[in-house]
Amino acid sequence: MSKYSVSIIKYEKPYDSVRKAVELCGGLDHLPEKSKVFIKPNIVFWTTACQFPKWGVITTSRVIEDTVRLLKEYGIDDITIGEGIVADPKDKHTPAHAFETLGYERLRQKYGVKPVNVMDRPFEKIDVGGEVTLKFNTDIINSDFVVDIPPMKTHNQTMVSLGIKNLKGTIDIASRKKCHSADPEKDLHFHLARMADRMPPMLTLIDGIYTVERGPAFDGKMHRSNLLVASADVLSADLAATRLLGHDPAQVSYLAYAASNRSRPTDLSDVEIRGEKIEDMAAYHQWDFQYSKEETRELPAPMAKQGIDGLFYRKFDDTMCTYCTGLNGLVLTAIRYAWKGEPWDNVEVLTGKAMEPTPGMKATILLGQCMYKKNKDHPDIQKMIAVKGCPPEPKNVVKALHEAGIEVDPGLFEQAESMPGFFMSRYKDRPEFDESFFRVE
C-alpha cells in the first residue's frame, strides 16, 4: 500500500528551502495547468497600534513570497492570497494595514497576485458532513488548487494549530462562533476535523521558521526553529508537525476525529517521512496554561502565586470563541495589576457558552452574551453582573469589574491594541528574531 508523503526540511535559504520541501513530498505533482490558486496564510491577529512581526503567531512573508515564486515557476498566473483577520468586519483599515505591512501589496506589484480580505467577499454554505454546514469564502472553494501555509504552533484550546485549523480563517464570523458550540457531541474539535473535507486539491506547507508554545497569540513563547513541513495531504502534514512540537496526534481531538473520518491511524504508520527525521527535529512545546484550584480561589497559576484571593476565574474552555478569547487575556492582565493584597469578596467570572455558577459566590460576572443568555435566570447567582455583547465592549467590562470591587485600570483597556508590543519587546535585539522574514523587498 502506498504511503502519504511528508517532507521535513531545515530552513536554510530563501526560495531554495521552500522548493526543496515542496518537491521532496511531490506537493505540486497534482497541480492542474493554468490553475486558479488560492494561498491561505495565517494572520490570526493584527493591530495598527504597533508595527512588529509576530514570531510564529503569523505566517512569515518570506515563505509566502517563496511559494508565489514557485507557483510562477510552474506557470501559474492566477494567484489569490486570502485571509479573514480577526477584527470588526466593518473595519477595512486593519486588514489593509496588515497586507501592506507584510508586503502583500508588494507581491501584487511584483507578481500580479491578488490579496483579499475574505470578510469583503461572498461566502457559500457548504455541507461538511455530520449534519454540519459552514459558510466558506467563495474564492477558496471555487479555486482549482489551494496552498495552505500556517505557522507551526501549539494552541491553548486545541493543543496544536496547523494546516486543518488554519482553514477556519476562511469561514464567516457566524460559522466561527458556531464552531465553538456547547454541544458536547458537536464541539470545536468536531467542527475543525471537517474544515478540509470540501477543499479543492491542496498543498500544505507548514512554516516553522518560528514556532510558538502556549499559542496561538503573542503572549506565548516564541522560538526560532527553522523548519518546513510539506505534504499534498493536509492531515499527514499536521500529524507530522504535531510530533515535531512534541505531542501525540492521538491526543489532539480534532486530528483524531479527522483521522477517524478518513479511516486512518494517527501514529504515522501510513506516512513516509522524507528529509529530516522527526526524532532529530522534535522539540517539546507546551500548549496549555496551568491553573490553580483552591478553596478560596480558582485562577491561572501565576495569579495564584501572586497571592490573589477571593476570586474564582475558571479556566476558559473550548466554547469560548476567538472574539472573546482576546478580551479574556486582557481581563486577566488587568486583574493582576489591580491586586493590592486584600482578598476580593468571592467574585466569580464565567466565560464561554457552557459554564454554570458556583453556589455561594457573592457576585457572578457573566462575561459575554453567551454567558448571559445561559445563566441570566440561574438560581445560584446571588448578585448578577452581566457584561452583554458579542464580544463585550471593553468599557462595559471595566464597569462590571468595578461593580464587583475589582478596580482595574481603564487605561489598560483603552490601550489594548498596544499590548502586543509589550510582549514582543522581549525579542528585541535578539538576532535570531529577524524582521526581514516579515517583509517583501
How far is residue 362 from each of residues 310, 344, 349, 405, measured CA to CA in Å?
10, 10, 11, 11
- Read off the pTM: 0.95
Decide if pLDDT at 206 tops 90.
yes
Q: In this prediction, what percent of the chain has a pLDDT beyond 70?
A: 99
Q: What does the block give as the cell for 396? A: 462595559
**Within a 13 Å sphere around the CA of 281, how many CA atoms are in the beta-carbon half?**
26
Q: What is the pLDDT of residues 66-116, one digit of tens each?
A: 999 999 999 999 999 999 987 677 888 889 999 999 999 999 999 999 999
For the beta carbon of residue 36, count every other beta carbon within 10 angstroms. Answer: 16
Strand partners, 393: none
Stretch 175-194: mean pLDDT: 95
Decide if pLDDT at 373 tops 70.
yes
| Residue-range domains of the chain with CATH | 4-287 (3.40.50.11440), 291-421 (no CATH)
Contacts of 391 (CB under 8 A, 6+ apart): 323, 324, 326, 327, 368
Q: What is the pLDDT of residues 227-262, one digit of tens each?
A: 999 999 999 999 999 999 999 999 999 999 999 999
Indicate the angle between helix axes 253-261 and 234-244, nearest 10 degrees.
150
Q: Identify the band that residue 327 occupies on the pLDDT scale cut at 50, 70 and 90.
A: confident
Cα–Cα distance measured from residue 334 to residue 404, given in angstroms and rounded to the nearest whole number: 14
Decide if pLDDT at 51 tops 80.
no
Give residue 272's pLDDT.
98
Q: What does the block give as the cell for 398? A: 471595566
